Structure 1
Amino acid sequence: MPLSPIRLRLLIASLLTVSILGALDHTIVATSLATVAGELGALQHMGWVVVGYTLASTVLMPVIGKVGDLVGPRLVFLTSLAVFLVSSLACGFAQDMTQLVIARVAQGVSSAGLHLMSQTIVAHVTTPRDRPKYMSIVGAAFPIAILVGPVLGGAITDYWGWQWVFWINLPFGLAALALAVFAVPHIEPGARRRFDLAGAVAFTIAFVSLVLAVTWIGDPDAASAAVVAFALSGIAFAAFFAIELRVDEPIVPLRFFANRTISAGVALSAIIGIGLFSVTAYLPTYFQMAYRTSATVSGLVPIATVFGMLVSNLATGWLVSRTGHYRVYPIIGTALGAAGLLVMSMLPVGTPLWVPMVVMSIVGIGTGAFMSLIVAVVQDAAPRHETGTITATVNLVRQMGSTVATAVIGGVIGAGVAAALPASLDAATLTPQLVHGSSAAVQAEVAQIYGEVLAPVFLALAVTYALGIVAAVLLPAGRLSDELEPAAEAAPEPLTA
């Protein structure tokens, strides 16, 4: 449904605001975690503040997407925003870790609703041709959150107290809510259909078990639990796929993957999660250990990566909206990502820091070239009444890829470093400060170990992006339409270039 220019601008402003709040809620909290856990007297459980948020937002993505199609994205968006504000208030008032984790779970669920419905609403109110431009603006929330979140979280914790890390959401969220009530239009939902409860339960069990299994696999004391979790995950995933093939309204419609645009687009979305998002968290530690930089300086490489992603994301959205042609950008983007990560795998330890900064910024530029674009392209290939469902599917595979690959990479780094360290160093107590205070010989040895452990990780991620080139080439060529009309039903396409 077309909107007036001023109402569309207000809508995008509201969607961008809440998207930034949702994205910041993940990055801003990380800096204050130690303070929060210390004051609440539960340092050993502080990981659940992040894990509870991430798991809740991931496992409920397909559910929220389907509900958006059934009742309309406006209702889900406004409800999610209200829950987000209430849970932010509750996080700040938490008196113990249990209360905080429960509030964070509610935040994670509502944040997923805000993210998905923002993209779904944009798809409903813009033409396919204009969609990449507006999708890239809303999609800018993630790189912005990565750039400013840690610094903002640290400053708020130091000067206002950790409670304000959550309460800062309230004034901006209330302003966005007031804007949204006016700007978000009523979008007619699809016909009332039966909700796929069995599929939702099976997926939740499968994904939670998989994350726990991957997390435990590196711990010898939890090896048996990891095996049980893997088995449970496999059984639950098998049940999930069996259910999705049989129900009339699956939360993840597998029939969509017969459409080459959708299957290639979903694969490209997974590449982003596996190939880049997974390793970003480990870059600072790598540069502190291998390049012997300070914690502050080590953050320059991820900043360069994300800044390249932000600029490329906005530029690509604008270019595609001008021409309507989109296929070339994922091809170039995946090629840049593969080349950059390949170079990272071959860089010798001790290279001047500006070199990996430039290389990783190229990886960011390549990723940004199709990060938001691919969501718009896939939405255009799906039936209009299932826009929320397909949007959730694209985001789900990206988040699943990132979550699982992050755990795998963490395990590889931990096991590889522990196995190679000399007997005089204990991997469990190894910190950058300890290494920097050691002799030059020890520093050089640890740097070499980290370089040797991370080189195959970068190479594997380069191969992941190379597979993305294949998916991008298989993406059918086309031009996005200037007209706002229901998209055709997804149907199988011939496998021709």
Structure 2
Amino acid sequence: MSPWRLRLLIVSLLTVAILGALDHTIVSTSLATVAGELGALAQMGWVVVGYTLASTVLLPVLGKLGDAVGPRAVFLVSLVLFLVASLACGFAQDMPQLIGARVVQGMSSAGLHLMSQTIVARVTTPRERPRYLAIIGAAFPVAILIGPVLGGLITDYWGWQWVFWINIPFGVAALLLALVAVPHLPGFGRRRFDVGGSVSFAIAMVALVLAVTWIGDPALAAASVVSFVVAGMAFAAFLLIELRAPEPLVPLRLFVDRTIAVGTVLSAIIGIGLFSITAYLPTYIQMAYRTSATVSGLVPIATVFGMLVSNLATGWLVSRTGHYRVYCIAGTALSAAGLFAMSVLPVGLPLWVPMIVMAVVGVGTGAFMSLVIAVVQSAAPRRDTGSMTATVNLVRQVGSTVATAIIGGVIGFGVAALLPSSLDAATLTPQFVHEASAAVQSQVAGIYSGIFAPVFAALAVAYAAGVVAAVLLPAGRLSDESEPAPAPSSEPLTA
């Protein structure tokens, strides 16, 4: 591609990536208002769960489809569906309608995110790829930083419907830009589609999400156990099908390549080690450091800002030198050290201390967050670029989902078990604690510090395993030569 058209393409993909990432974070602030106006507080969580579940389930399917018919077609269809679903969300008259529209949004968002990365892989050299993937990957930390605030402002001044409708003008502009900028990239004409793998994976993910959603409710404990069993059986069936399928949804045969295997492990560690704890940081800071809700947000902001800067910096450096292994080793080591430091920080330190420590964790994670995708793409055969890109994203998302549920359970049960009988964990809010006596505040701070310490330590161990994995990553340099484009195929895609 000519330089000007490549820049136009990156602007188009970045615009769409920001829309998709914002759609996940901007809604969180408006959830209470939406649930209240639609009269369905009990179903509020499914606005987020439905979106996340649909996005996760569709990742490997869309990756395979992008390899078959070409990423441009999947990208444009996903963008149109995203705009239609955004319109439908705003017009929803009840919670089931909103959840249904959010499911479609999640499906289309997966296509936008995944095909953006696949398109970059198809139009750039391996050496150029980290820089452009880092630019597109910046959409996620940017969305975390501005999404909740933007969602609150829109909800307060325009109404919650505009949280979804705001996507329309920007999405239409992005669509017109994409029609011009995204090149026609031929597919590889798969003749078989892995229906068995798709169905078993969908069952496994639905069961897993239901299990981790219900695990904290004593009334649904039995249903949660059954769901875990179903998820385990479905995942086992999925692996067996993938090993025998002629055109598997997830090309397991490629994991004999050490670069692909290690890159996938590193991606999973990001989901397990950082993405899972981010949602609980404000609560920890409010309780252990006795801050307001507004001030507690400074710690995750520092984390995400460190991630953003490091992600862009390493993408630029790797594109200049081609060397990537050192950033994976240094990044996992920094994150492990930061999380270990969080586990031993005494209560009562100034807030800037955990801010700096978590910023270090963010810098370490950002060092290889987008980089591992570029490395895996460069190691995978060109005909499996979409499938492997989907797999790397999938393990990160599944790792985050499972680890988030586990951490939530540990915190919930731990606080309930350690609180004195005079305090009720179900009604324990930061405001209540801040208005309580100094003795109660100190006691609650100690409880939260004691519960979070082993959580941070466990996540540090996960990153320490990442250091070992990064050391096993084969040394080398990304090539600055273009790979030959595939010949267009007219072979039909059949089940």
* Residue segments in structure 2 that go unaligned for 5+ positions in a row: 487-495
Alignment-derived partner of residue 117 in structure 2: 119
Q: Which one is further off, 297-306 or 207-216?
A: 207-216
- In the TM superposition, residue 487 of structure 1 has moved relative to its aligned partner by 10
Work out the CA distance in 2 between the residues paired with 1:190 and 1:394.
21
Structure 1 unmatched ranges of 5 or more: 489-497
In structure 2, which of residues 223, 228, 231 is the aligned counterpart of residue 230 of structure 1?
228
Whether the 8 Å CA contact 1:380–1:487 is kept in 2: the answer is no
Percent of aligned positions with the same letter in both sequences? 78
> 1:36 is matched by which residue type in structure 2?
V
Q: Is the 8 A contact 1:329 1:369 kept in 2?
A: yes
The answer to whether the aligner puts 1:344 opposite 2:330 as a matched pair is no
| Larger deviation, residues 258-267 vs 231-240 | 231-240
Letter in 2 for 1:328: V
Query: Could you tell me which of 348, 372, 377 is aligned with 1:379?
Result: 377
Whole-Å Cα distance in 2 between the matches of residues 250 and 421 of structure 1? Answer: 50
1:429-472 C-alpha deviation (Å, 9 max, x unpaired): 11111111111111111111000000000000000000000110
Match of 2:477 in 1: 479
Q: Helix, strand or coil for the counterpart of 1:320? A: helix
Q: Distance in 2 between matches of 1:202 and 1:162?
A: 36
Question: RMSD of the TM alignment (CA)?
Answer: 1.0
Q: Matches of 1:382 and 1:370 in 2, distance apart?
A: 18
* SS at structure 1 position matched to 2:26: helix
- Deviations along 1:216-241, one digit per CA (max 9) or x if unpaired, are 23332222112211111111111101
Q: After superposition, give the CA deviation of every residue in 1:356-409 in whole Å (9 maximum; x if it has no partner).
A: 000000000000000001100000000101111000000000000001100110
Report what 1:214 is aligned to: 212
How far apart are the structure 2 equivalents of 1:337 and 1:376? 20
Partner SS state of residue 95, structure 1: coil
1:68 aligns with 2:30: no
Q: Distance in 2 between the 1:51 and 1:486 partners?
A: 41
Q: 1:42 aligns with which of 40, 43, 47?
A: 40
Task: State the distance in 2 between where 1:324 and 1:64 align.
Answer: 29
Distance 2:86 2:396 in 1: 25
Q: Aligned to 2:212, what secondary structure does the other structure show?
A: helix
TM-score (norm. length: structure 1): 0.97
Moved more, 478-487 or 356-365: 478-487
> Does 2:441 match 1:443?
yes
Match for residue 453 of structure 2? 455
In 1: Cα distance, 2:221 partner to 2:141 partner: 36
Deviation at 1:304, TM superposition (A): 0.2
How far 1:75 sits from its partner (Å)? 0.2
Q: Which residue of 2 aligns with 1:267?
A: 265
CA distance in 1, matches of 2:256, 2:186: 27
Question: What SS does the corresponding residue of 1:203 show, helix, strand or coil?
Answer: helix
After the TM superposition, which residues 94-113 of structure 1 pair with which residues of structure 2 at under 5 Å, given as runs? 94-113=92-111
Question: How far has the Cα of 1:110 moved from its partner?
Answer: 0.4
Per the alignment, residue 307 of structure 2 pairs with 309
Query: Are 1:321 and 2:309 counterparts?
Result: no
Which aligned runs of 4 or more in structure 1 are off by greater than 2 angstroms? 214-220
Q: Does 1:292 align with 2:290?
A: yes
Is the Cα contact below 8 Å between 1:81 and 1:177 reproduced in 2? yes
Q: Which amino acid aligns with 1:345?
A: S
Q: CA deviation at 1:212?
A: 1.8
Question: Separation in 2 of the partners of 1:453 and 1:83?
Answer: 43
Cα-to-partner distance string for 1:172-203 (whole Å, 9 max, x where unaligned): 11111000000000111002321101101101
Amino acid at match of 2:196: A
What is the aligned length? 486
Aligned position for 1:495: none
TM-score of the pair, normalised by structure 2: 0.97
CA distance in 2, matches of 1:72, 1:437: 59
Give the deviation of 1:350 after TM superposition.
1.1
Determine whether 1:81 maps to 2:79. yes
* 8 Å contact from structure 1 (residues 383, 486) kept in 2: no
- Tell me which amino acid in the other structure corresponds to 1:212: L
2:73 and 2:385 map into 1 onto residues whose CA distance is 15
What is the SS of the residue equivalent to 1:370?
Answer: helix
Aligned to 1:258: 256
